[in-house]
Amino acid sequence: MIIVLWLQVKENVTYMRGNVTEDIWQLTQDMDVLHQVNWTNKTTQRLREFENDLVLAIKKAGWDGDEDTQVLQWTFAGSLFYSIIVITTIGE
């Protein structure tokens, strides 16, 4: 269950990155880029939204910055070893 949620977070970040790229490209196509201030303001706003989404993914969902769904942060052996270290350090 935890692995499924972890993979979902990585997929969501990849999706968000694709969306912000598409949105900025769409802004570039739709707007007159000769009006640099308007384009810059809208692009900056969209990038700030993306930045906030990334911060939420890091703080709330525990995203580690890696979008590769084939790489797991924890293996079973690694998590077991960590649990044993915590139990022996803190006590039962």
Domain boundaries, the chain: 1-64
Copy the structure tokens of residue 6: 């972890």
Tell me, what's the pLDDT at 71?
58
pTM of this prediction?
0.56
Which H or E run includes 3?
Answer: helix 2-30
Copy the structure tokens of residue 38: 């308007």
Tell me, what's the pLDDT at 45?
92
Whole-Å CA distances, 57 to 5, 30, 61, 62, 75: 12, 30, 5, 6, 21
pLDDT in tens, the chain (92 residues): 444 454 566 667 677 778 888 888 898 888 876 778 888 899 899 889 988 888 887 777 666 565 555 556 666 677 777 777 777 777 65
